[in-house]
Amino acid sequence: MDERRRDPRVEIDWPVEILLDNKTIEGIAKNITPKGVFVCCEEPLSLKANYRISIFTPNNEALTVVGKAIWSNSYAMDDQNAPVCIGLSFIKISAEDRNSLKEIIQKSMEE
């Protein structure tokens, strides 16, 4: 399969919280780039919707971003117990958080 990403993608296991109007969904970020994150959680999310997400990095820094759901496996699943995995493209992230994320990704690639 062709890898079309221009930015480096790093495999991770970082906790995330997806903040909805009436509740918070907990999940695990499985990989990340400076432009988006791949999250697995237990509840389906709507495609093309925007979500406020807190990503908890290994250095105990919480990055808060707004991501747009651009891909999900929840529409092709038969197993009700399977985790929902969703790709989110960052549409709002502070320059400081993006720089922190780039540094963390760079360090992870060097290890």
What domains does the chain contain, in order, with CATH numbers?
10-110 (2.40.10.220)
The Cα 79–Cα 94 span in angstroms is 37
23-27, 59-63, 78-82: which range is least confident on average? 78-82
pLDDT at 38: 95
The Cα 82–Cα 102 span in angstroms is 31
Residue 101 φ then ψ, to 5°: -65, -45
Q: What is the pLDDT of residues 16-35, one digit of tens each?
A: 999 998 999 999 999 999 99
pTM: 0.84
Contacts of 81 (CB under 8 A, 6+ apart): none
Average pLDDT, the chain: 86
Percent of the chain with pLDDT strictly greater than 70 = 86
Q: Is the pLDDT of residue 77 over 80?
A: no
